[in-house]
Structure 1
Amino acid sequence: MANTMYPCLWFDGNAKEAATYYCEIFKNSKITDENAFAVGFELNGNKFMGLNGGPKYKFTPATSFVVECETQQEIDYYWNKLGEGGRYDQCGWLDDKFGVSWQIVPAVLKSLLADPQKAPKVAQAFMQMSKFDIATLENA
């Protein structure tokens, strides 16, 4: 018996709208099933469930999804698409129009922070950013 784990996102009656929105943004994504209570969907091969749970619970930044990007073009794309109608924050964080929190981060950040010589300057640089800028981080 296989154990499959995936997140269930609690929406206030608009799970299908949210799933459709996310599937339009992420390549290789699709709605896999739906009923009156929930919608199943995949984003880049990652399984999710959207539950039409009602107004009782709201999203918080305590849970977020990290989108690791190889290029500045990818960062710009996800930052603009996911942030549209939502709220932008510091250090690559944003809340989308449904209140779901995302971190749009450059893949190179891990290696830059792993370098003990460079890490303090990189950290200082990204603490000043809202949307990450790869060139600024690499030149810090």
Structure 2
Amino acid sequence: MVSYASFLSFPLMSRMIYPCLWFDHQAAEAADFYTSIFPKSKILEKSPIAVRFEVLGTPMMGLNGGPKYQQTQASSYFVYCGTEVDIDELYTSLLEGGKAIFPLGTYPWSPKYAWVTDRFGTNWQLDADPVRSAQKIVPCLLFVNENRSRAREAMEFYLGIFPKSTKLVEAPHPDSEDLLFAQVNLEGYLINLMSSTETHDFGFCPGNSLVVPCEDQAEIDFFWKKLGEGGNYDRCGWLRDRFGHSWQVVPKDLGQWISDPQKGQKAINALLKMEKLSIDDLKNPS
């Protein structure tokens, strides 16, 4: 798998993991749409391969990956609206050409909530909760089917890998010890985990991934090994963890190296041959 999304990099705030959304050549159109309907949002950089942008100040990446993969409801993005976002207006905009999984309304877990799959296939969970964090867009991993009882296992797995990480919220199912919902802080980055006892026709796939920028080779080696244990390693820094969720483990300066006018093409050629990424071979390609 070609890690095209890794060709661009974000400045680090803590570690600043960020989501990568897979599109069939609609990344620029989708990013333009999102930055037009969300406040505090902007395009940071565009290329034919990928677009990096901010939604409510939170970094995200759109990848023109082609038709191989599609995003699924197993990976969605909570929008903690608070008073900063008009949830009714945002719901109406996202619903145009899309569909409502949960129509906007009052639910036991929120006074105002909706789940929408937009016209590009991206899943958003809109919540009136303001969340006490500068991060207003929070990725959510939904554990279903054979994974339905593994949300707690996944939470402990991720907390054990990322240093200085904490459990923020933990809510079990009413009739079992399995987790219904949890929120964790992974080195300053919030991620939600949910589970469903119903049978679904979707699961995790590379249509949604999380990118882990690394300071040096030791960090790449560590996160590559730990996140991939019990899972599958792929090309260009991509891997699937033991739960099937996709991650990209990349050097934080990769964008600088592949855009170098003298060495950039050689760095890209080297990247395409790798599984785990080598900083030396990317920074000084032969």
Query: Over residues 42-96 of structure 1, what are the superposed CA-to-partner deviations in whole Å (9 max), with x where a residue is unaligned?
Result: 1111111110124523100011111111110000000000000000000000000
CA distance in structure 1 between the partners assigned to 2:160 and 2:229 by the alignment: 13
More strand by share: 2
User: Equivalent of 1:16, from 148, 152, 166?
Assistant: 152
* Aligned counterparts of 1:7 and 1:34: Cα–Cα separation in 2: 16
Q: Secondary structure at the match of 2:221?
A: helix
CA distance in 2, matches of 1:128, 1:48: 31
**SS of residue matched to 2:230:** coil
Across the two proteins, how many residue pairs are aligned to each other?
Answer: 140
| Aligned mates of 2:165, 2:269 — CA distance in 1 | 36
Deviations 1:19-47 (A, max 9, x none): 11100100121111111211111111111
Query: What is the 5 A alignment of 1:30-109?
Result: 30-35=166-171, 36=173, 37-54=180-197, 55-56=199-200, 57-109=202-254
- Bigger Rg, which one: 2
Q: Which amino acid aligns with 1:139?
A: N
Question: What is the DSSP-based 3-state SS (H/G/I as helix, E as strand, rest coil) of the residue aligned with 2:266?
Answer: helix
Equivalent of 2:282 in 103, 118, 137? 137
- In structure 2, what is the equivalent of residue 115 of structure 1? 260
Q: Equivalent residue of 1:6, what SS?
A: strand
- Look up the SS of the partner of 2:212 in the other structure: strand
Structure showing the higher helix proportion among its residues:
1
1:13 Cα shift?
2.3
Tell me, in whole angstroms, the C-alpha distance in 2 between the residues paired with 1:130 and 1:110: 18
Distance in 2 of aligned mates of 1:97 and 1:28: 22
Does residue 25 (structure 1) correspond to residue 157 (structure 2)? The answer is no
- Tell me which residue corresponds to 2:139: 7
**1:39 & 1:139 partners in 2: Cα distance?**
42
Q: Secondary structure at the match of 1:7?
A: strand
The residue identity in structure 1 corresponding to 2:141 is L
TM-score by length of 1: 0.94
SS at match of 1:41: strand
Gaps of 5+ in 2: 1-82, 85-129, 131-135, 174-179
Measured in 1, the distance between the counterparts of 2:210 and 2:159 equals 15
Structure 1 gaps, min length 5: none
- Of residues 41-50 and 94-103 in structure 1, the stretch that sits farther from structure 2 once superposed is 41-50
Q: Which amino acid letter does the alignment assign opposite residue 29 of structure 1?
A: S
Give identity over the alignment, percent. 41
